[in-house]
Copies of this chain bind each other. A is one copy, B any other.
Amino acid sequence: MTVRMKDIARDLGISPMAVSKALRNHKDIGEATKARVRKRAAELNYRMDWVARSMVTGRTYLVGLVVPDLMQSFFAEIAAALTAALSPAGYHLLISHSSENATDEAANIDLLESRKVDGLIIASAQRSAKALKSLKTPYVLIDRRVPGLKANYVGTENEDIGFLATRHLIEQGCRRIAHLKGPVLSTAEGRLKGYRRALEKHGLKVQSDLVLDAGHDDASGYQAMQRLLSRKVRPDGIFCFNDPVAVGAMRAILEAGLSIPRDIALIGVANMHSSDMFRVPLSTIDQGTAAMGEQAANLLLASMAAKKPLAPRQLILPPRLIVRASSRRQAAGN
């Protein structure tokens, strides 16, 4: 049925081992024989059985990707960047999603390990190091840090994100700045911390009632913003956990008949594709998503190539403020 090395070997009157070595261009085999093997392999349309090879070499050339939700364009972009960076090295990406559920995530990781992936890239929903610290497979955390876990990590400094965004709103003249906070994770906590630091640094009061849990998507951002608007006193600036939340907030604000940025200035995080084409073009903090994916891939490649586990490395990429109309209140140029 399918062609095996032994078929080539029989045809050529040599041993299967010689075929195996020839195809891997091993130096034990003479050039003449290698040529014959390659020729016959091509004729028979031979294709390596990677499963069999994996069994004996212990390497699958598979990398598992665990994300909360591929639908979020941030993670889709990560996945794309990873594929691009890993495939030249012969790796394939195996995806699975955790739906923000730590237990599901752990089960997924287990499964991926039993599939013998050579490495893992994880945007983790874990709140503790427990499930991850026993991992034997090399891995890289991406975007989200896990408390108490010293591991390879690539991400942005979330506190800087919060600080940058909030300071920008302050500079635009906002004085009552609210924060639509994300789910409880290192990411959300860092951004909140940065938000607080910026307020304090500029002598503004940190009011806990101006921080609302807003989930991480469009719909929950909309709801949170509605709650905020129903109060007697309105905020004049909103720092949103991410762009989808900001889009939801935008919807709520515009529906309420208010103007962005005149009544309320708005800024998100992530630089979603096309967010410059929104009804009010959305200011945001760019995390360098593609670069993050690429760096994570490189870090993982290095870890997988090493014989002994390497010392974990942390790569922190600098966030970048992108000012668009949703937060531009000063008549400043451009």
14 further A-B contacts with Cβ under 8 Å, apart from A55-B55, A73-B73, A93-B95, are A50-B114, A50-B115, A50-B116, A51-B51, A51-B54, A51-B60, A52-B55, A69-B80, A76-B79, A83-B95, A83-B97, A84-B97, A92-B94, A279-B281
**Which candidate, A187-195, A226-234, A270-278, is the interface stretch facing chain B?**
A270-278
Given the complex of chains A and B, what is the CA–CA distance between A69 and B273 in angstroms? 14
A300 within 8 A of B: no
Does A31 count as interface, using CB distance less than 8 angstroms?
Answer: no
Q: Is A48 an interface residue (CB 8 A)?
A: yes
A248-288 residues at the B interface, CB under 8 angstroms? 250-251, 272-274, 277-281
Q: How many residues of A contact B (CB 8 A)?
A: 47
Query: Footprint of B on A, CB under 8 Å?
Result: 47-52, 54-55, 60, 62, 69-71, 73, 76-77, 79-80, 83-84, 87, 92-97, 110-116, 218, 244, 247, 250-251, 272-274, 277-281
Bound-state CA distance A110–B45 (Å) is: 11
Copies in the complex: 2
Q: Which B residue sits closest to A276, measured CB to CB?
A: B251
Task: Answer whether A49 and B279 are a contact pair too, CB < 8 Å, given A92-B95, A93-B94.
Answer: no
Query: Looking at the complex, which one of B83, B110, B280 makes contact with A47 (CB distance below 8 Å)?
Result: B110
Q: Which residues of B contact A87 (CB under 8 A)?
A: 96
B55 engages A113 (CB within 8 Å):
no
| Residues from chain B with Cβ under 8 Å of A52 in the complex | 55
In the bound assembly, the distance between CA atoms of A94 and B93 in angstroms comes to 6
B95 touches A247 (CB 8 A): no
Kindly provide the distance from the CB of A255 to the nearest chain B CB, expressed in whole angstroms: 11
Identity of the chain B residue whose Cβ is nearest the Cβ of A108 in the assembled complex: B87
Interface pairs A-B: 8 shortest CB-CB: A76-B76, A70-B80, A47-B114, A71-B80, A50-B115, A51-B54, A277-B278, A51-B116
Residue in A55, A77, A92, A93 with the greatest tally of chain B CB atoms within 10 Å: A92
Given contacts A73-B76, A73-B273, contact A83 B55 (CB under 8 A): no
